[in-house]
Amino acid sequence: MSIFLSLLLLQAAPHAMPGEEAVDPYTVDDRNAGATPFTGTGMADAFHGQEGIRRIVAHFVEGNFADPVIGEIFANQDKVRLKRVLFEQFCYILNAGCSYTGRDMASAHKDMGIQKADMNRLVERLQAAMAAEGVDFQAQNRFLSKLAPMRRDVLQK
């Protein structure tokens, strides 16, 4: 029984970390991040490294949950997990020294009913979080240029 349980845990290990809700198994791959990372350290520096990215993600996620327009989309989401995988995704794309272990964008946003206006609201929340961290506007847009093509997979089909 204990062997069976530990096997089950082993299999589940990469999918959900302690404190997170269970998710269906998926194959972990950096390509799930949905964008190729920047090269060099310029963007990681502009975002103040992993510490800066962590602050931006915390600000961004809290803002989304509290948002009067898109808050309800987030209401039933696992905030702990969202903060972790978003941090990994941003850190990976910004080439700040992380791997991405979350799901691909289409799977992660399936059946969430996200519309274009929600996506723009989300972008504004991210802009606010990046501005609060003091990220230069041109660097903000460079980062957004990596995220923009993901809209296709995020929107309600």
Partner 1 sequence: MKIAALALATTFAFTLFAPADALARPLRNGGKLLLTNGISSLEGASGGGLTPWAVIAGNETSDGIGLSGHGTLVEVEDYDYQSAGVAIGIRDRLEISYAHQNFNTNDIGVALGLGKDYAFSQDVIGAKVRLAGDLVYDRMPAVAVGVQYKKNNNGAIVRAVGAKDDEGVDYYASVSRLFLSRSILLSGTVRLTKANQLGILGFGGDKKDAYGVQFEGSAAWQLSRRFAVGGEFRSKPDNLGIAREDDWFDAFAAYALNRHLTATIAYADLGSIATVKGQRGLFLQLQAAF
Chain contacts with partner 1 (rule: CB under 8 A): 69, 115-117, 119-121, 123-124, 127, 137-138, 141-142, 144-145, 148-149, 151-152
DSSP 84-140: HHHHHHHHHHTTSS----S--HHHHTTTS---HHHHHHHHHHHHHHHHHHT--HHHH
Q: Considering beta carbons, is residue 81 or 146 the nearer one to partner 1? A: 146
Count other Cβ atoms within 10 Å, centred on residue 72.
12
* Closest to 143 (Cα-Cα) out of 27, 63, 43, 31: 43
Least separation in angstroms between residue 80's CB and partner 1 is 29
Q: Considering beta carbons, is residue 18 or 68 the nearer one to partner 1? A: 68
Q: Considering beta carbons, is residue 12 or 117 the nearer one to partner 1? A: 117
Least separation in angstroms between residue 119's CB and partner 1 is 8
Q: Considering beta carbons, is residue 2 or 138 the nearer one to partner 1? A: 138
Least separation in angstroms between residue 141's CB and partner 1 is 5
Q: Considering beta carbons, is residue 93 or 101 the nearer one to partner 1? A: 93
Least separation in angstroms between residue 148's CB and partner 1 is 5
Answer yes or no: are the C-beta atoms of 64 and 74 closer than 8 Å. Answer: yes
Our CA dihedral for 93, 95, 98, 100, rounded to 10 degrees, sits at 20
The rounded distance, in Å, linking the Cα atoms of 120 and 106 is: 18
